[in-house]
Amino acid sequence: MSLGDASVSDGSLVGAVDQGTTSTRFMIFDETGSVVASTQRPHAQHFPQPGWVEHDAAEILTNTWAVIDETLSSAGLSAGDLAAVGITNQRETLVAWDPATGEPLNRAIVWQDTRTNGIVSRLADGDPDRFRAVTGLPLATYFSGPKATWLLEHVDGLRARGETGQALFGTIDSWLLWNLTGGPDGGRHATDVTNASRTLMMDLRTLAWDPDLVAAMDIPLAILPEIVPSIGRLGTGVGPLEGVPISSILGDQQAALFGQGCHSPGEAKNTYGTGCFLLMHTGGDAVPSTHGLLTTVASQVAGEPPTFALEGSVAMAGATIQWLRDEMGVIDDASEVEALARTVDDNGDVYLVPAFSGLFAPHWRSDARGAVVGLTRFANRGHLARAAIEATAFQTQELLAAMRADSGVDLTELRVDGGMVVNDLLMQFQADLLNVDVLRPVVVETTALGAAYAAGLAEGVWADLADIRTNWQEGGRWQAAMDAGERARLTNRWSQAVQRTLDWV
């Protein structure tokens, strides 16, 4: 399968811009899917009010150019050595910018932000599933459409600018694509179907902006990006990427699904990053959820029908460990949490429900608040660390139960990736709770790898999906060792703790 001109480069190296919630990375992979070079830079997190989370889009762009330049230099490579570059991004985070100057018009509103709760309630009008039949999504603060409404209602002059072509809106992929392909000098204003499917404005059947939903949010259609397939040439790079085809965009979780080789119905992966995201491929069928999951686009090759996935989203996974470090001072570095948790034999009946931004799937309660349940004088720092680790596994168990109910599929294995999968205690506890094998690949940065695979597929570096699946290699496996009675007891106690957070409001 080749969707571009494979003669653009004689090389077989492919780059990926991986723009995440806490950092930006540029990685270069060879034809085996092995890492050739990588550079990463963090960016600031801004919390101007309770529930608000913001990023500086200009800082993200500066970091993106820097990591591209540094990665190429460190490997002794130039743009001409790359056959293609793909983009993967934190989804649902929204940017508005001036197309004449390229300057952001406000800080980006991050996917974790809950300021749009009032707008969401107004749109729902008592029915949070009002848009689900068209978009596959419940009305929630998580998604980017209401963020656009909020900006138009609260940033002076922004609506007038948008209506006269002096403002563009887009998720982070759109911001990066526009800049990487020329910015004010002809950059392409587009987003792919995976990111567009997370806005509450795209019709899953037509893969186009739904005019009724856009009108319901009172958003000028002209400010929105063009919706394009995920895999296929989108433009040509400038600056450090001069002349390189930009040939894929995938939202980060769809990129990880692709990079894990989960291309067929019933295959699933879970990414343990800032949040936690469980996706199951459902092929060409957009399976509706009745158990609190999301129906989303998995990917689309240019000229071909899209594929879909069911997704369960958790707001706080690695971010819970960051909270232990930054706000609570329980640890000095995230890498210390496993050793601290191993100082105790079990959680001591302590449960941490990290509903700091509400609860996502399957509850969808933006008003829920975090809680630590079960504290006694016996509890210590080790129990709190263990409860923080286990919270991610418990939330994943809730997602998998919902996924089984929606799909009728019983998984036999779960492929995992993301920064937290180096935590062996978490991986074993996850296998114990799910009662399925948990598999970690050799290359755990599957988000970037998926974007690279997609771009290389478009430009002929890989002939087809079979080539990509052949590259996948197992790097670790955990098997369930917990008896059914203990699994049921722990699950019941977790459910009781979650109910406390829901009763608090």
> So what's the pLDDT on residue 300?
97
Could you tell me the pTM of the whole model? 0.86
Q: How far apart are CA 57 and CA 106, in angstroms?
A: 9
> So what's the pLDDT on residue 360?
81
> So what's the pLDDT on residue 11?
63
Coil/strand/helix, residue 153: helix
**8 Å CB contact between 316 and 472:** no
Query: What value does the CA radius of gyration of the chain take, rounded to a whole number of Å?
Result: 22
**8 Å CB contact between 206 and 272:** no
Q: How far apart are CA 288 and CA 194, in angstroms?
A: 16
> So what's the pLDDT on residue 505?
66
> So what's the pLDDT on residue 418?
86
> So what's the pLDDT on residue 1?
36
> So what's the pLDDT on residue 8?
34
Quick one: 211 exposed, middle or buried, by C-beta within 10 A (0-12, 13-18, 19+)?
exposed
Q: How far apart are CA 65 and CA 314, in angstroms?
A: 30
Tens of pLDDT along the chain (505 residues) come to 334 333 333 468 999 999 999 899 999 999 999 999 999 999 999 999 988 999 999 999 999 999 999 999 999 999 999 999 999 999 999 999 999 999 999 999 999 899 999 999 999 988 999 999 999 999 999 899 999 999 999 999 999 998 898 999 999 999 999 999 999 999 999 999 999 999 999 999 999 999 999 999 999 999 999 999 999 999 999 999 999 999 999 999 999 999 999 998 889 999 998 888 899 999 998 999 888 899 999 999 999 999 999 998 888 888 899 999 988 899 998 889 999 999 999 999 999 999 887 888 788 887 888 889 999 989 999 999 999 999 999 999 999 888 888 888 888 889 999 888 999 999 999 999 999 999 999 988 899 999 999 999 999 999 999 999 999 889 999 999 999 999 999 999 999 999 988 887 6
Q: How far apart are CA 435 and CA 432, in angstroms?
A: 5
> So what's the pLDDT on residue 2?
34
